[in-house]
């Protein structure tokens, strides 16, 4: 083992993989794109600059609302996504036959 390599425990690896998967599922980049609009709304509502605690709560609310919406969307579309997955798998297996 090289000096700059550190052994990564399976628990840490699992946590990192789950975190990455969760961020991909909720499209964190879309949430980050929407934050400036939320901050602009806060500036307009406060008639000036909002406090740091208000900005923190805005970030928490945006990430929470987006995560909840994406989770609900996954549950609502579960039946349709399952059909699409079956069709996609069938198509891929036909390519190799």
pLDDT in tens, 1-48: 444 445 556 777 888 887 787 777 767 787 888 899 999 999 999 999
Pair 13, 62: CB distance under 8 Å? no
* Distant-in-sequence, close-in-space partners of 50: CB < 8 Å, separation ≥ 6: 42, 43, 58
Residue 77 to residues 21, 31, 39, 46, 72, Cα–Cα distance (Å):
18, 21, 31, 38, 8
Q: Distance between CA atoms of 90 and 88, rounded to whole angstroms?
A: 5
- Per-residue pLDDT at 62 exceeds 80: yes
Domain boundaries of the chain, sorted by first residue: 10-96
pLDDT at 75: 77
Alpha carbon distance 55, 53 (integer Å): 5
């Amino acid at each position: 083992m090289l000096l700059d390599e550190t052994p990564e425990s399976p628990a840490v690896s699992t946590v990192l993989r789950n975190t990455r998967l969760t961020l991909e599922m909720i499209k964190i980049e879309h949430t980050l794109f929407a934050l400036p609009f939320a901050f602009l709304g806060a500036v307009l509502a406060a008639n000036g600059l909002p406090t740091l605690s208000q900005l923190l709560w805005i970030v928490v609310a945006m990430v929470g609302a987006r995560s909840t919406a994406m989770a609900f969307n996954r549950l609502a579309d579960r039946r349709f996504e399952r059909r699409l997955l079956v069709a996609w798998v069938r198509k891929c297996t036909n390519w190799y036959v």
